[in-house]
Amino acid sequence: MLASTSANVSAKSPEAFRTISEVSTELDVPQHVLRFWEGRFAQIKPVKRAGGRRYYRPEDVDLLRGIRALLYLEGFTIKGAQKILRDRGLRYVAELGRGETGFERQAPRKLAEFIAVPQEPQFARAALSVLGRSSDESASDAPAESEVADQEREKLSGLLEELLALRVRLNAARSRARA
């Protein structure tokens, strides 16, 4: 059955309306997820015919593809994807779905931009303890505490970037596993 559905999708004109089954197959997303997104994203408005059957226009499919990319590939939450839709607009997310634009994450590049870390000695000691060193080890020969704190903050910033990248990869792997 799945093969015939995908054959029907490719045989249709690009301007043709798609059923929820066809969109589900094309986007590799279960039908119930598409219905859920419809409730969470007011911008998704498929045409409904008699019996409640949904038909998606090509621009609806592009929007759904963009939402899927934000949620599954970029690792956004529903609220995060809604914010992108509000801030950047429907056209941007649809272009993302068509692959016409790459998503430029506006993530902080430094830990200090992500969270405010006061420049106090106890935070430098805490950063050292996270990395398995004591403040006694960095006493006389080592740089000043504020310098150490900056170095440790830089290391933590790099770790945060790696964790964010791993989260995106994990979400992508989860979405493939669901398929």
Higher pLDDT, 2 or 161: 161
Task: Say if pTM beats, i.e. exceeds, 0.85.
Answer: no
Q: By C-alpha distance, which of 76, 78, 122 is closest to 103?
A: 76
- The pLDDT of residue 170: 76
pLDDT in tens, 87-135: 999 999 998 888 876 655 544 344 444 444 444 455 555 555 555 554 4
pLDDT in tens, 47-97: 998 888 999 999 999 999 999 989 988 888 999 899 999 999 999 999 888
Pairing outcome for strands 54-56 and 47-48: antiparallel
- Please check whether residue 178 lies inside any domain of the structure: no
Q: Please check the confidence at residue 160 and state whether its pLDDT lies above 90.
A: no
- The pLDDT of residue 165: 66
Per-residue confidence band for 143, with pLDDT thresholds at 50, 70 and 90: low
Residue pair 17/57 in contact by the 8 Å Cβ criterion: yes
Task: Name the domain boundary from 105, 121, 152.
Answer: 105
CA–CA separation, 174 vs 178, rounded Å? 6
Per-residue confidence band for 44, with pLDDT thresholds at 50, 70 and 90: very high
Higher pLDDT, 98 or 170: 98
Sign of CA dihedral 131, 136, 141, 145: positive
Number of structural domains (the chain) is 2
The structure tokens 């801030």 sit at 87
* Domain region containing 45: 2-105
- The pLDDT of residue 97: 85
Do 39 and 99 belong together in one domain? yes
Per-residue confidence band for 13, with pLDDT thresholds at 50, 70 and 90: confident
Do 45 and 67 belong together in one domain? yes
Task: Name the domain boundary from 105, 123, 151.
Answer: 105
- The pLDDT of residue 31: 94
